[in-house]
Chains A and B, each alone.
Chain A
Amino acid sequence: MIGFFICQCGTNISATVDTGKVAAAAAAMRGVAVAESIQYTCSDPGQATIAEAIRGKRLDRVVIAACSPRMHEATFRRALERAGLNPFMLEMVNIREQCSWIHSDASEATRKATDLARKAVARVRHHTPLLARKTAAVRRALVIGGGIAGIQAALDIAAAGIPVTMVERSPSIGGNMARLDKTFPTLDCSSCILAPLMVEVKQHENIELLVNSEVDDVHGYAGNFEVDIRRKSTCVDEEKCTGCMICQDKCPARAPDDFNAGLGSSKAISIAFPQAVPLIASLRKEHCRRFNGNKCRLCQKLCPAGAIDYGQEEAVLRRSFGAIVAATGYDHYDWKASYPTYGMGMYPDVVTSLQYERLLSASGPTGGRIRRPSDGAEPRQVVFVSCVGSRDESVGRPQCCSVGCMYTAKQAVLTREHIPDSQAYVFYMDMRAGGKDYEEFARRAQTRYGTLFIRGRVGKIFPRRGKLVVMGTDTLAGDQVEIEADLVVLATGLDASAGAGELARKLNIACDRNGFMTEEHPKLRPVEAASAGVFLAGACQGPKDIPATVAHAGAAAAKVIGMLARGELEASPMVAAVTESRCAGCFKCRGVCPFGAVEKARLPDGRPVARVIGSVCRGCGICNVACPPGAISLNGFTDKELIAEIVEVLKPDVGYRTLDFG
């Protein structure tokens, strides 16, 4: 017996669809014992009506015509369950998003709703009760990335007593935040607030920290991921190195200073930065003399701990995890190739905002004194250019970096604080200061710190008599502006960090068109990736400032804790299943399965058949199509159910013409 309930959704549906008429049509459909039009099916009284009918009319199947199943399918499944029915004996008809809201002709919309109702009634007849499967989950989480997002997530998860492995590809955790001088809008010192957290990660009994490591491959599924972690060779024994820095001091080979964003230089063997965690040296072979044909073994000779091992090899560790947090952060937009009129990097005194952070920082290459890179002079006129590689369709970066306005304001303020007689100019497009105390801070940058804000894009930067001329338009005044600057700072936008796309593929999750990893729902599931058991923390999901990152990472941690706290997972039963008597044993299903969810089995008579590992199957149904005898079938989306839908929705009715087919 089928119950049919159509929702008026106030007037959202009933304004266009004659719900009474659809209900009357449904009442005449085979097996429909009750057909009712309800004002709000999702409301308590609405659900009560359904539950009452289930009990009173002994319904075994329910069709609800209402909003999108993506909205309320879960709600109504629970309602069925509470009324004693298997939750999967439900079929929803989407007559709001896909009918009443997109049609204005009431008779057309009503006819369409009736067609859809007929198809749902035919389909629900083929539904079978499905039971959610429970599988044991590994009680350990993997956090990929050791920036502030990863640190926060790891600490929160570890605090709940769940072991965490943190994988960081660079020699130290800390990420981009460790390079910042001060943070807006409070101007507190970035590394002062970050360093204690970094140390806590290192010392936490529930956290295993693997630096110089990357995720090589990911197998398995929510609750039971198998992850290969590649530990790169650094020629330094982490156990032995004490971080004394003798090797770095004595190393004769210069190397770029990554931490200082390319300003200044470092050594082939070095410690990433003074506050690095772990405080361990690492050797970059590409810059080392020994690895470039020279006989130098200086570091090995001088190391008091005997930690240098030139023959150290890469290793791959395999670990099991129940959940994975991606916290891979962002990279600053590489502007040089795309902005030829800004000099393409030929002018040393055009620096990026991150380089400027290092110039401002007491731990930076200039010891916290602002000096321009070309001649070390203290600049007087500093021009900031906003939105470089941000909100710029012409370079393929339509997105807002969401932090540029604020950090530029902060850097302008810090410029005046460092050099009181300096003048900062900011070319901006719009001032975006949406956070708490942000607008006040941005305003102070103008009023108290005398920063001049010019609304407009910079057209050109070129050198003239030892200065840089910045030409732009002041769109408010409608004038061309020309400023002679000593130093130009480009506020570069944020890209997903290099390799994020590749990692996403390994994790089987999607990236948006800007390369950021996609959350499952933009509002309701902002930290869940579309792959079960994978969560997103921080800027890998989209540009964020520090408070938003910390909040996002905390949320991801909460989801991981929620998932792993119980030790077992409930998985959707809408997975593939094999009817063994129909299986021809060709294993085409196994060949197409993206998740390795099909295994070979043998029947007692020796016949080989396919078998689905229910907890690995994710329910895509690719196998269903690949199976020639139709032995493998996706629960909830069987051929039978889909054919029933096709046949019924197309049943010739008044006013339809049909294509005659063979």
Chain B
Amino acid sequence: MTEPTTRIIGFLCNWCSYAGADMAGMSRMRQPAGVRIIRVPCSGRVDPLLVLRAFQEGADGVLVSGCHPGDCHYGSGNYFARRRLELLKRMLPALGINPERFHYTRVSATEGARWAEVVSAITERVKNANDND
């Protein structure tokens, strides 16, 4: 084992982002190895408390990815998620968590390349997040 891995919990909706991550795999797109994906049916299933729980358990970062607006398999789940998670992101500084450690994004089933970019970019940002700011 070399350098400590930056561990990021990824909550991915089954219909878009999880499929997008699969697509990235099918296209053999290399990605940093720190992301641990937890599959959820919809980003609307992601309770902000799950994100906090992940931080509490020692995650370096958390990423939530769902469908693009208008694409939610359930119609409005991603809109619920966006509201809840936007609030969470804004609350993180008060909780003493650098908001750079939390991201929510949207990746569709066909955006394998985008998923790979998201993983790389966010791993980098989490790695650089300074808690002494």
* A/B: CB atoms within 8 Å of each other: yes
Chain A: residues with CB nearer than 8 A to chain B? 68-71, 94, 96-99, 101-105, 107-109, 111-112, 115-116, 119, 505, 508, 510-511, 518, 530, 574, 592, 594-595, 618-622, 624-626, 634, 637, 639, 642-643, 645-647, 649-650, 652, 654-662
Asked if B56 and A661 sit within 8 Å, CB to CB, the answer is yes
12 A–B contacts, CB within 8 A, in A order: A68-B25, A69-B39, A518-B71, A595-B74, A619-B41, A620-B41, A621-B44, A621-B45, A643-B50, A649-B38, A657-B60, A661-B58
- Asked if B50 contacts A652 (CB within 8 A), the reply is no
Neighbour of A639 across the interface among B22, B36, B39, B47, CB < 8 A: B47
Partner of A102, one of B14, B29, B47, B101: B29
From residue B66, how far is it (CB to closest CB) to chain A in Å? 11
A626 to B40 CA separation, bound complex (whole angstroms): 16
Q: Is A650 in contact with B73, judged by CB distance below 8 angstroms?
A: no
Whether A637 contacts B75 by the Cβ 8 Å rule is no
- Contact status of A98 and B7, CB under 8 A, knowing A622-B77, A661-B58: no
Chain A residue numbers with a CB within 8 Å of B95 are 662
Q: Are B50 and A622 in contact (CB under 8 A)?
A: no
Q: Which residue of A lies closest to B55 (CB)?
A: A661
8 new A-B contacts, CB < 8 A, other than A620-B73, A620-B74, A622-B76, are: A70-B14, A98-B37, A530-B73, A634-B45, A637-B40, A646-B59, A650-B57, A656-B58
| Centre residue among A103, A119, A530, A625 by max chain B CB count within 10 A | A625
B21–A98 CB distance below 8 A: yes
Count B interface residues, CB 8 Å. Answer: 59
> Of B24, B33, B41, which is within 8 A of A621 by CB?
B41
Contacts of A655 in B (CB 8 A): 1-2, 4-5
- In the docked arrangement, what's the CA distance between A508 and B108, Å? 17
A-B complex: 8 closest residue pairs judged by Cβ atoms: A97-B25, A621-B45, A658-B58, A620-B74, A655-B1, A622-B44, A108-B33, A97-B22
A474 to B105, CA, bound (A): 44
Taken together as a complex, chains A and B put the C-alpha atoms of A107 and B5 apart, in Å, by 12
B residues less than 8 Å from A97 (CB atoms): 21-26
Name the B residues within 8 Å of A70 (CB-CB): 14, 18-19, 22
- In Å, the complex CA distance between A645 and B26 comes to 25
Which of A101, A105, A574 has the most B CB atoms < 10 Å from its CB? Answer: A101
Residues from chain A with Cβ under 8 Å of B39 in the complex = 69, 94
B123 to chain A, nearest CB (A): 12
Q: What is the 8 Å Cβ interface bit string for chain B, positions 28-70, against chain A (1 contact, 0 not)?
A: 1111010011111110111110100111111110000001001
Of all chain A residues, the one with the shortest Cβ separation from B96 is A662
Are B42 and A622 in contact, CB atoms less than 8 angstroms apart?
A: yes
Q: Which residues of A contact B45 (CB under 8 A)?
A: 620-622, 624-625, 634, 637
